[in-house]
A and B are shown apart, each in its own frame.
Chain A
Amino acid sequence: MASPPQISSTPQSIFRPNAKHREAISKIFRIICAIGLGIGLVVLGLLLVDVFQDGFARLWQPGFFTGNASRFAQKAGLRTALLGSVWLLILLLLISVPIGVGAAVYLEEYAPKNRLSQFIEINIANLAGVPSIVYGLLGLGIFNELFGLGPTLLSGALTLSLLILPLIIVASREAIRGVPQSMREASYGLGATKWQTVSNHVLPYAIPGIVTGVIISVSRAVGETAPLIVVGAVGYLTSNPGLLRRFSALPIQIFDWISRPQAAFTNTAAAGIIVLLALLFVMNGTAIYIRNRFSTFR
């Protein structure tokens, strides 16, 4: 037991003041953490500077957003790829949000807590870690072949939905689990039914978490290349994408440009990267806005 210093008459050999030493360790730890942050920021900064140097000027040349891909780097535009990505984005939201949030609500609010639901839970968590190429092959087998959709935009969107469903379910469940039990009990106490409790209290309270999860998952899907290539996205398209037509997407268009021999395509690809980054930035910004908006709303 340590005794108060003024009473203690222990010789110095037993009580060694090492506050300096401990503080030094504390400082070193702080520096290590700062270096970690610094490396992350510097690498990101270098990437951004590099991409913007190569592509920013190209971005504003006429026809970049409205034109088709072209063999001339200066004329190449990303209209079909951008439209493909926007289509995918909308379809993804329409398909995966109702299914994902519905599944999460059922698992959290309705499902009995037994072995089966535990088994399902573990599997969903595992599915969230499966490499995206596997989903591509799954989509190729199910949507392209079995359902006969072929290499179309719809089958690409369905495949990406499969990819992000586990992520959305996991995030939504976390958010729903974060709703205090007392809130549900108060609602029941006033005579509300389960449906009224879930729709009027649980979901609105959980919306910031759900929306954050949805948008981060969808952002990931929009940047995906591998599953789309397997399903049959193409690097060059003369017509606008449609639900049952062949399609392209931004990451695939960028890859096609990067692998061209002509040096000018580097700039075109960099401009494409900026557009993809901007799209992701806007989506993440929306997520943050909605989260803040609804955090104060309740």
Chain B
Amino acid sequence: MSSFIGFPRRLAVASVVFTALALGACNNSQTGTGGEAQTGGSPSPAASGEQVSGPVAIDGSSTVGPISQAVAEEFQGANPDAQVSVATSGTGGGMKKFCAGQIDIANASRPIKDEEIQACEKAGIQFVELPVALDGIAVVVNKENNFAKCLTVDELKKVWGPAATGKVTNWNQVRSDFPSQPMKLYGPGTDSGTFEYFTEAVVGEAKSSRTDYTPSEDDNVLVQGVQGDPGSLGYFGVGYYEENQDKLNLVQVRNPDTDTCTAPVPLDNVVKGTYAPLSRPLFIYVSKKSLDQKPAVKSFTDFYVNNAKTVVGDVGYVPLPDEAYTSLENKVSNTKTGSTFKDVEPGTDITKLLTQ
């Protein structure tokens, strides 16, 4: 045998070459990062004006994830050495990690809950609550459905309340002049913040919902479900309706305060709060400790409130009014901790709350 342990030498050589090539490729692209990541738009520079480096760990809602990703994308152009990571394990999952001190920023599609605040307090984690965008929850039906034009909150409750499980299965049970047609329901899974917000706004209690509907964590699956089923009804973020307008019919929801039918499109209805109670703010929660100790997190948060306005539209959400972002900047610079949103009823005028 020519080689020492009998393994053919060529194989060993090949594997070493492969490894070297792969590692080389890593190094090459590392140096090229800054230039390639430059993207469109003209983001204003980070408040500090200096480049920062170091990790910024973000996790939480898959609804808010795209906004944080978009901000990170712009942030990286200005700070090529910062390592921003955005995971999407759901609002609840993100909050758990946040209050365990594992991440710097939690994305949330609903306000923080009392239990979560207690968990954070126990671990000594204080947070700054920042609403960064608005979202309308769209109620949609199949394209062939031409009778469900506007539903009241009570009717939605009749359909989605826990009492409806196995009982409300036909459209004529919702309103007597609706035709007799079997109803199929599609909605987000129970870990989703959208599910919590919708149930709280419609049923009156978060997470209280009928159980015999088709759930999916992937909103595109819900779109396909409603699209393929003539008797279907579903709900999800308005961004998914906007991208699929030709395939779905949007249902108006009667605002209980003004008694008028409104839809989340045009998006102005969400900003003005006329699409109530299904308009909601989307949040990020930033750890005070990370803000104080990690320059990258501080710089990223400043960048976030400065630039959210320009990117939220790109990912299908509605920006807050300008003056709201100004008040957020103050909130960050004063590191004002605590939650002002946790007890706010769904349907409250968000803009007013923010600018107060």
A: residues with CB less than 8 A from B are 63, 66-72, 75, 77, 79, 83, 86-87, 89-90, 93, 150-151, 199-201, 203-204, 207, 229, 232-240, 245-246, 248, 256, 258-263, 290, 294, 297
Contacts and interface: CB of A to CB of B under 8 A. Distances in A.
Contacts of A203: 5-7
Contacts of A90: 19, 22-23
A235 B65 contact: yes
A236 B39 contact: no
Given A234-B87, A238-B84, A66 B29 contact: yes
Contact of B30 (A67, A69, A240, A261): A240
B190 interface: no
Contact of A71 (B26, B36, B62, B73): B73
Interface string B50-63: 00000101010010
B217 to A, nearest CB: 8
Given A66-B36, A70-B39, A72-B39, A235 B88 contact: yes
Interface centre among A200, A204, A232, A234 (most CB of B within 10 A): A234
Nearest to B315: A71
B212 interface: no
Given A63-B36, A238-B37, A260-B66, A199 B29 contact: no
Which applies to chain A's interface (DSSP): helix, strand, loop or mixed?
loop
Nearest to A76: B73
Given A204-B8, A238-B73, A256-B88, A71 B243 contact: no
A236 B29 contact: no
A239 B36 CA distance: 12
A233 B57 CA distance: 11
Interface residues of B, number: 57
Interface of B: 1, 5-8, 11, 15, 19, 22-23, 25-26, 29-30, 32-33, 36-37, 39-40, 55, 57, 59, 62, 65-66, 68-70, 72-73, 75-76, 81-89, 102, 217-220, 237, 239-240, 242-244, 311, 314-316
Contacts of B59: 234
Contacts of B316: 261-262
A297 B314 CA distance: 59
Nearest to B30: A240
A87 B26 contact: yes
11 contacts: A66-B36, A68-B36, A68-B76, A75-B39, A204-B8, A235-B65, A235-B69, A238-B82, A259-B218, A261-B243, A294-B8
A2 B316 CA distance: 82
Given A70-B39, A75-B39, A260-B66, A235 B86 contact: yes
A137 to B, nearest CB: 14
B267 to A, nearest CB: 14
A259 B62 contact: yes
Contact of B242 (A86, A240, A245, A261): A261
Indicate the member of A71, A239, A256, A294 with the most B CB atoms within 10 Å. Answer: A71
A86 B22 contact: yes
A294 B9 CA distance: 12
B220 A70 contact: no
Contacts of B89: 229
A294 B81 CA distance: 46
Contact of B37 (A68, A86, A93, A199): A68
In the A-B complex, the 5 residue pairs with the closest CB atoms: A234-B87, A239-B83, A236-B86, A71-B70, A238-B76
B36 A238 contact: no
A89 B86 CA distance: 23
Given A66-B36, A71-B73, A232 B87 contact: yes
A71 B66 contact: yes
A200 B220 contact: no
B85 A237 contact: yes
A167 B216 CA distance: 32
A167 to B, nearest CB: 20
Nearest to A260: B66
A23 B96 CA distance: 67
